Amino acid sequence: MADAVSLKNQGNDAFKQKDWSGAIDFYTKAIEVNDKEPSFYTNRAQANIKLEAYGYAIADASKAIEIDPNFAKAYYRRAVANTLILKHSDAIHDWKAVVRKNPADKVAKAQYEACQKMVKRDAFLKAIEIADAPSAAVGLDLENMIVEDSYDGVRLKEDMTQEFLDDMIERFKNGKKLHRKYVFQIILAVKDLVYAEATMVETEVAPDHMLTVCGDTHGQYFDLLEIFRLNGFPSQKHGYLFNGDFVDRGSWSTEIALLLYAYKMMYPKFFFLNRGNHETDDMNRMYGFEGECKAKYNERVFKLFSESFSALPLATLIGSKYLTLHGGLFSDDAITLDDIRKLNRHNQRQPGQAGLMMEMLWTDPQTMPGRGPSKRGVGLQFGPDVTKRFCEKNGLEAVIRSHEVRMEGYEVEHDGRCITVFSAPKYCDSTENKGAYINIESDYKLQFNKFDAVPHPDIKPMAYANNSMMSMM
């Protein structure tokens, strides 16, 4: 037991240093020495929560409960993990158990009450859901919307201009907003552009051109500008592909979404946007984007963004060599590129809990062969053999995906056939990771570039998420 406790304490030290993976290694070693101590599992569960491995956290908390059914912390950890993957109906039972075991715990009581509200809200939203609801653009008279003389920004007419883009970048750096007319105008224009694109966009890199692939940016606006400073701003010869998760968590999500959309308007054939699992309504309600839209603009802006997110392509095929999508591969080896081409994403606005769209947005690679349960609690994990078969069957060199923090900003796995790129350095101000992006020229060789986070104004991540969410992060 002394050896196990020593390992646990080393795990605690690593946790304090925000070395979540190192902490997990020590807690795992402690469990290998003594697998009957529930606190080892709950400690590892907390580290897994920090790594967004909510499925693993739920499994650890469940094991702790199996060892000691009266261990309140285990119910607390499992409730947090289920809440963070939006499984409120599962979480509510554990919150109730925590309150029953620790009636004086005010935080747990507040979480229980918040969870009850979420369950009721989810039921209400499902009850009023309309398949063909009218667009939030109905009744929006942009033509007659007045931009007041007091507005100190560049005016936007029909087409995007470099002058407007430059002014937008500076406005956002200085904490200013766009006029609501221009916000509506940009979102609606891009919604039409991306709606008309294929579910899997197919593009080539011409001689003397370059395409840069970026992963999650998650509302880290100043780090996005650092990519452009280091690597060059978008142009007709320098295209960009942003591979989902532009929004949520970081507190400049509207600024990132509007800037990326403005570039899409400016260079519709050279600037690409894939949908991520955070370009969805339920994630936006939980992780801050809805709240940010309402705080900085209004509810209609969020609803229009939601409609535009639903119109985004799900994948981009680069030079017939690299399938780029946010999450990863599939539960069925029979799936091919043609199945992605045929997928009518407009028939299903939100990805749901199963199916091709969900898997494209949520799955992750694993080191073991075959397929396994998701560490997130949503989707699944796929091994190197799955990736090999998919690439060989579809004539691909590799799959490029995002969706996960990588400490060096990127990682090449599965014998070079699965590449993860993540572009939010010092993620959520709490993980000491680098960011990365990939440059691809006409020879289709992948050029990996790493960069560090830059300073930003003193606004914390999740500033616009609900208060109960903040207390769990």
Kindly list the catalytic residues. 278
Which residues, at least 6 apart from 69, have a Cβ–Cβ distance to it below 8 Å? none
* Best CA proximity match to 327, nearest among 264, 285, 375: 375
Q: How many residues comprise the chain? A: 473
How far is it, in rounded angstroms, from Cα 270 to Cα 147? Answer: 30
Quickly list H helices, 203-280. Answer: 221-231, 253-266
- Residues 246/260, Cβ–Cβ less than 8 Å: yes
Cα torsion 271, 290, 56, 431 to 10°: value is 70
Tokens 């101590």 locate to 37
Which residues, at least 6 apart from 79, have a Cβ–Cβ distance to it below 8 Å? 91, 92, 94, 95, 98, 111, 115
Centroid of chain to Cα 92: 25
* Best CA proximity match to 47, nearest among 35, 33, 61: 61
Element of type H or E holding 439: strand 435-440
Give buried/exposed letters for 357-383 (b at 16+ CB in 10 A, else e): bbbbbbbbbbeeeebeebbbbbbbbbb
- Residues 248/289, Cβ–Cβ less than 8 Å: yes
Tokens 């993980």 locate to 431
How far is it, in rounded angstroms, from Cα 105 to Cα 469? Answer: 17
Q: What tokens appear for 307 in the block? A: 């409609």
Q: What tokens appear for 366 in the block? A: 């694993």
Q: Which residues in 9-70 belong to E strands, given as ranges?
A: none
Q: Beta strand pairing status for 446-451 and 435-440?
A: antiparallel
Helices (runs of H) and strands (runs of E) counted in the chain = 18, 14
